[in-house]
């Protein structure tokens, strides 16, 4: 019994050390969201361009995470972790001393390469070392670490931007990264296998082209319109490549990722719910700071404080929902979560919200969102047999990043097109017209995500333990 407790404690410390890297990635993202308005002015770029700091990060994660099952099986766990921290540290330094938008974007992409190793590694350690009956609790602890980043990020970013400058968002991360490196080097246990792995490079190429094509196609729709040949071409290439990747995995004796995990119904249902919740939450996190600053005229710090209660609630609720999942299953959590999210998105879509409205509605929105991703993810992974742990972990994390990237890109596209069309309906663009255009863009964006959250609610009713 004591050995089990010691193993669980060691696992928790190891997982938290890995989760810190994810925490840093999310912290820099949510802190930068507050700086987007200022960065747009500083670098003289549009919302469609600035969103690539989020989309580029998530897209890189999407492209590299499918390689994680091979990395976990081929390389020592501790060595993988140390490599990931060094890569992430390099990207953080580049962001901290970036002189232009290109350097900043490159730094974010390098950060994403490091995170693409740690994200599936963290989940895989939990699946290997923690029994099914306690996974919800441990995933909840991980959620507390990773969800605290959105709570701290906007306030952290707002304070740093107002009192120093945005470069320090990254510079101040360096001591925490060193702490994570020390903890992980001491406590991370080995979970790699000695199996001989054959790498199918065409599969890697197909998955990368597929994911990049889809996300890039959605992202450039803001500049060119949805019916532009460039947009349709990218989406078609992405979908065809993804289809080719899936077909090839079914033919290979040792696939890059075992796509047969989707024959397990609760895993498939859980993944769809995870994607919908990620798209909706990241879209709201991207759009609302722009609304507060562009339409309501709030400063970076005030915007950060407005987002803080909702993000804090999401972090605090993660361990609670994890324990509830272990005892009662997913259905009630997912149904109530999507109901609250849908109601709050409806408020954003059809009502003109003032500063205090945004604080309250976003807080309830994030309370509902806290009941979605981790319970759906944990319940889905629990259905898979042990030999599919690495594959399930890679698929979960890939779909999370792809859906987050698509959600942010969709939000940017809908907002930008609506904002531009509204302004063009006036002969002269005044400050008041710009504020109204911002509100119009926000409303249209949330109408789309209302439909998406209602689909999620319907799926939640079909969930079972």
pLDDT in tens, 227-238: 888 888 988 998
Q: What is the 3-state secondary structure (H, E, C) of 325-357?
A: HHHHCCHHHHHHHHHHHHHHHHHHHHCCCCHHH
Who contacts 163 (Cβ-Cβ below 8 Å, separation ≥6)? none
Query: Is residue 140 scored above 90 in pLDDT?
Result: no
Average pLDDT over residues 129-156: 65
Q: What total number of domains does the chain contain?
A: 2
Average pLDDT over residues 81-91: 89
For residues 225 and 367, state if they share a domain: no
- DSSP helix, strand, coil percent of the chain (3-state; round to 5): 85, 0, 15
For residues 73 and 95, state if they share a domain: yes
For residue 136, name the pLDDT band (cuts at 50, 70, 90).
low
Q: Which of 222, 255, 288 represents a domain boundary (last residue)?
A: 255
Q: Which 3 state secondary structure label does DSSP give 74? A: helix
For residue 151, name the pLDDT band (cuts at 50, 70, 90).
low
For residues 47 and 99, state if they share a domain: yes
b/e 338-376 (16+ beta carbons within 10 angstroms → b): bbbbbebbbbbbeeebeeeebbebbbbbbbbbbbbbbbb
| Selected residue with higher pLDDT from 48 and 413 | 413
For residue 139, name the pLDDT band (cuts at 50, 70, 90).
low
pLDDT for the residue 173: 86
Task: Confirm whether 465 is domain-assigned.
Answer: no
Cβ(187)–Cβ(334) below 8 Å = no
Query: Is residue 83 scored above 60 in pLDDT?
Result: yes
CA dihedral 214, 57, 319, 139 (to 10 degrees): 70
Average pLDDT over residues 94-104: 88
| Selected residue with higher pLDDT from 110 and 396 | 110
Q: What is the mean pLDDT of the chain?
A: 79
Task: Confirm whether 31 is domain-assigned.
Answer: yes
Most confident of 21-30, 105-114, 209-218: 105-114
Closest listed residue to residue 324, CA positions, set 269, 382, 371, 264:
371
pLDDT for the residue 377: 80
pLDDT tens across 155-199, in order? Answer: 777 788 878 888 888 888 888 888 888 887 787 776 655 555 667
| Selected residue with higher pLDDT from 94 and 381 | 94
For residue 257, name the pLDDT band (cuts at 50, 70, 90).
confident
| Selected residue with higher pLDDT from 280 and 120 | 280
pLDDT tens across 418-445, in order? Answer: 877 777 777 666 767 777 777 787 888 8
Task: Confirm whether 83 is domain-assigned.
Answer: yes
- Its domain, for residue 441, covers 2-199+256-460
Query: Is residue 322 scored above 90 in pLDDT?
Result: no
Q: How many residues does the chain have?
A: 465
> What CATH number is associated with residue 93?
1.20.1250.20
| Selected residue with higher pLDDT from 107 and 326 | 107
Q: Which of 211, 237, 255 represents a domain boundary (last residue)?
A: 255
For residues 239 and 339, state if they share a domain: no
For residues 210 and 262, state if they share a domain: no
For residues 250 and 270, state if they share a domain: no
Lowest mean pLDDT among 69-78, 222-231, 368-377: 69-78
Task: Confirm whether 219 is domain-assigned.
Answer: yes
Task: Confirm whether 78 is domain-assigned.
Answer: yes
For residues 195 and 226, state if they share a domain: no
Percent of the chain with pLDDT over 90: 4
For residues 218 and 181, state if they share a domain: no
pLDDT for the residue 90: 92
pLDDT for the residue 145: 61
The structure tokens listed for 234 are 């990218």
For residues 304 and 440, state if they share a domain: yes
- What's the CA angle centered on 132, arms 128 and 136, to 5 degrees? 100
- Alpha-carbon Rg for the chain, nearest whole angstrom, is 21
Task: Confirm whether 297 is domain-assigned.
Answer: yes
For residues 114 and 233, state if they share a domain: no
């Amino acid at each position: 019994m004591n050995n089990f407790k010691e193993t669980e404690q060691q696992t928790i410390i190891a997982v938290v050390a890995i989760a810190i890297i994810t925490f840093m990635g999310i912290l820099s993202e949510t802190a930068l969201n507050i700086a987007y308005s200022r960065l747009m002015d500083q670098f003289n770029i549009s919302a469609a361009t600035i969103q690539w700091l989020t989309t580029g990060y998530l897209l890189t994660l999407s492209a590299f995470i499918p390689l994680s099952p091979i990395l976990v099986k081929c390389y020592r766990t501790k060595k993988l972790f140390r490599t990931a921290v060094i890569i992430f540290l390099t990207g953080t330094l580049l962001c901290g001393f970036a002189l232009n938008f290109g350097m900043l974007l490159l730094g974010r992409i390098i950060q994403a390469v490091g995170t693409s190793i740690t994200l599936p590694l963290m989940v895989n350690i939990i699946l290997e070392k923690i029994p099914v009956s306690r996974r919800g609790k441990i995933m909840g602890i991980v959620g507390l670490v990773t969800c605290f980043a959105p709570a701290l990020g906007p306030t952290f970013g707002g304070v740093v931007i107002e009192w120093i400058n945005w470069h320090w968002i990254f510079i101040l991360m360096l001591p925490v990264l060193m702490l994570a490196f020390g903890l992980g080097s001491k406590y991370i246990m080995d979970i790699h296998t000695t199996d001989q792995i054959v790498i199918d490079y065409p599969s890697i190429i197909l998955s990368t082209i597929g994911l990049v094509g889809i996300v890039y196609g959605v992202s450039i729709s803001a500049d060119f319109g949805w019916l532009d040949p460039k947009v349709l071409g990218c989406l078609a290439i992405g979908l065809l490549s993804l289809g080719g990747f899936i077909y090839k995995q079914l033919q290979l004796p040792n696939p890059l990722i075992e796509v047969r995990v989707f024959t397990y119904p609760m895993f498939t249902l859980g993944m769809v719910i995870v994607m919908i919740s990620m798209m909706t939450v990241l879209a709201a996190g991207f759009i609302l700071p722009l609304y507060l600053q562009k339409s309501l005229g709030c400063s970076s710090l005030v915007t950060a404080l407005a987002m803080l209660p909702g993000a804090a609630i999401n972090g605090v609720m993660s361990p609670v929902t994890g324990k509830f999942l272990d005892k009662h299953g997913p259905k009630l959590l997912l149904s109530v979560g999507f109901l609250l999210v849908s109601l709050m998105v409806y408020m954003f879509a059809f009502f003109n919200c003032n500063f205090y409205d945004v604080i309250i509605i976003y807080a309830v929105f994030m309370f509902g969102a806290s009941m979605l991703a981790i319970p759906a993810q944990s319940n889905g992974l629990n259905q898979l047999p042990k030999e599919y742990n690495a594959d399930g972990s890679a698929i979960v994390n890939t779909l999370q990043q792809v859906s987050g990237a698509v959600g942010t890109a969709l939000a940017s596209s809908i907002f930008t097109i609506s904002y531009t069309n509204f302004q063009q309906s006036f002969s002269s663009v005044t400050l008041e017209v710009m504020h109204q255009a911002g509100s119009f863009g926000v409303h249209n964006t949330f109408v789309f995500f209302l439909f998406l959250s209602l689909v999620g609610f319907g799926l939640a009713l079909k969930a079972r333990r």
